[in-house]
Amino acid sequence: MSHKQDQKNRASELEAALGFAADKAARDKFFMSSALNSFVQGEKKNKAELAEYLEIGVEQLSRLALCRRPYSNEVATFRRDTTAIANRFEIKPATLANLLRRAETYEFNQNSVPSGYLMAARDYEDAPEGEQEGKEKEPPNDA
């Protein structure tokens, strides 16, 4: 087997392993994976649609899922974490904040809300225009 083929196999093995880990992490609110999972379930989206929503490649989702989920009652900390993740994956920060807020809403509706996310996410969205990139419109049906 050629060296190139070896590398290719290794890369796909890594993708599969990260995907496996991301799935495991979905049960733990420490990880972004939990938010992505709540979001896709609530919005009835598949992975491809999630990637499209975030404007990233599907292969990036596992890595994104394994990031720590932004958590804090403090807007500044939430904003810092969200922006750091958004910058790393070239996602619009407001899109990511919106995803986190919606995920939290779905989790809240299922009585499993970790306190603080929703408030911080909402405050982030309410921040002055100049402080955000690519601010999105409010979704019509959210709490």
Exactly one of 25, 54, 91, 120 binds other proteins (CB under 8 A); which one? Answer: 25
Residue 47 engages other proteins in binding (rule: CB under 8 A): no
CB-based contact 100:121 (threshold 8 Å): yes
Exactly one of 12, 17, 74, 143 binds other proteins (CB under 8 A); which one? Answer: 17
CA–CA separation, 56 and 61 (whole Å): 8
* Number of chain positions touching other proteins (CB under 8 A): 25
Residue 8 engages other proteins in binding (rule: CB under 8 A): no
Q: How far is the CB of 140 from other proteins (least distance, A)?
A: 29
What does the block give as tokens for 52?
């499209």
31 beta partners: 68
Site string for other proteins, 73-112 (x = CB under 8 A): --------x--xx--x------------------------
DSSP state of 112: -
Count of CB atoms within 10 A of residue 86's CB? 21
Exactly one of 7, 8, 12, 20 binds other proteins (CB under 8 A); which one? Answer: 20
CB-based contact 37:26 (threshold 8 Å): yes
Residue 51 engages other proteins in binding (rule: CB under 8 A): no
What does the block give as tokens for 3?
């060296």
- Which residue, 30 or 73, has its beta carbon nearer to other proteins? 30
Residue 10 engages other proteins in binding (rule: CB under 8 A): yes
What does the block give as tokens for 120?
């911080």
Q: How many helices (H) and strands (E) does the chain have?
A: 7, 0
Which residues contact other proteins (rule: CB under 8 A)?
10, 13-14, 17-18, 20-21, 24-25, 28, 30-32, 63-70, 81, 84-85, 88
